[in-house]
Amino acid sequence: MLIAGKSLWLAETNCWVVASEAGGPGLLIDAPPDPEGLSSLLTEHGVIPVALLLTHGHVDHTGGAGVVVGQTGIDTYVHPDDDFLTLNPLGQLRMLFGLVPAGDFAPPVRLEQLNDGDVLHLAGFEVEVLHTPGHTPGHCCFLIRREGVLFSGDHLFAGSIGRTDLPGGDYGTLMESMRTKVLPLDDAIMVYPGHGPTTTLARERRINPFLQELI
């Protein structure tokens, strides 16, 4: 199994590619607004994307989605509770910077809807959708159980959790999502977050103060 990532754009957002092997079909998880960086990641590993999975609607994770879809024609999956974010990248950019930077941030014309408990059969993988609201209302983590990997977006980081002070965020909701959706998973699960280094669930149970608060 191939998992490779790059930290892209101003927020150093992790974009991940997942494939059974280099040179084959694969998944793209999150699309920061850096089309050249995204293209480089795919080309470097020879991955042919068949779908784009968005963990949530913040522009640092979705701002490159429209360009990627325009270039590849792949389907984009995101939870509809984040439509107010996914479909409004310019509003997010104005809130962050007071203006809109140069670039094409437009979302894809069509979005496929994610639902909690969905199992997506894509690129030879079974991807389980875990709806984990808190960072945003529609935040989702993606679990490939057979391979023991979790793409946690901005829900769980190495040693920390996602912020909850942005529109739609709620700390209590995030912690409940953590308790019911993430903590029941096996210790051996490898965690690939939306920012920062990879980790394991065992390590986070041991050192992450937010998880220890729940245990």
Q: Which helix or strand (DSSP H or E) is residue 66 part of?
A: helix 65-72
What is the enclosing helix (H) or strand (E) of 126? strand 125-131
Please, which residues have CB within 8 angstroms of residue 23's CB and are 6 or more apart in sequence? 45, 46, 47
Q: State pLDDT tens for residues 36-81.
A: 999 999 999 999 999 999 999 999 999 999 999 999 999 999 999 9
Pairing of strands 25-29, 112-113: unpaired
Structural domain count, the chain: 1
Q: Which residues constitute the domain of residue 102?
A: 2-212
- Picking from 8, 97, 104, 100, the residue whose alpha carbon sits closest to that of residue 63 is 104
Q: Could you report the per-residue pLDDT of 13-40, keeping only the tens digit for each?
A: 999 999 999 899 999 999 999 999 999 9
Give residues with Cβ within 8 angstroms of 53, minimum separation 6: 27, 28, 29, 30, 77, 78, 114, 120, 127, 142, 151
Query: Could you give the CA distance from residue 143 to residue 153 in angstroms, rounded to a whole number?
Result: 11
Rounded CA-CA distance 207/215 in Å is 12
Q: What is the pLDDT of residues 181-208, one digit of tens each?
A: 999 999 999 999 999 999 999 999 999 9
- In percent, the amount of the chain with pLDDT more than 70 equals 100
Which among 209, 107, 130, 143 has a CA at the least distance from the CA of 177? 130
Contacts for 24 with CB less than 8 Å, ≥ 6 apart:
46, 47, 48, 123
User: In the predicted model, what is the mean pLDDT of residues 155-165?
Assistant: 98
State the CATH number of the domain containing residue 176: 3.60.15.10
The pLDDT mean for the chain works out to 96
Is pLDDT at 88 greater than 90 in this prediction?
A: yes
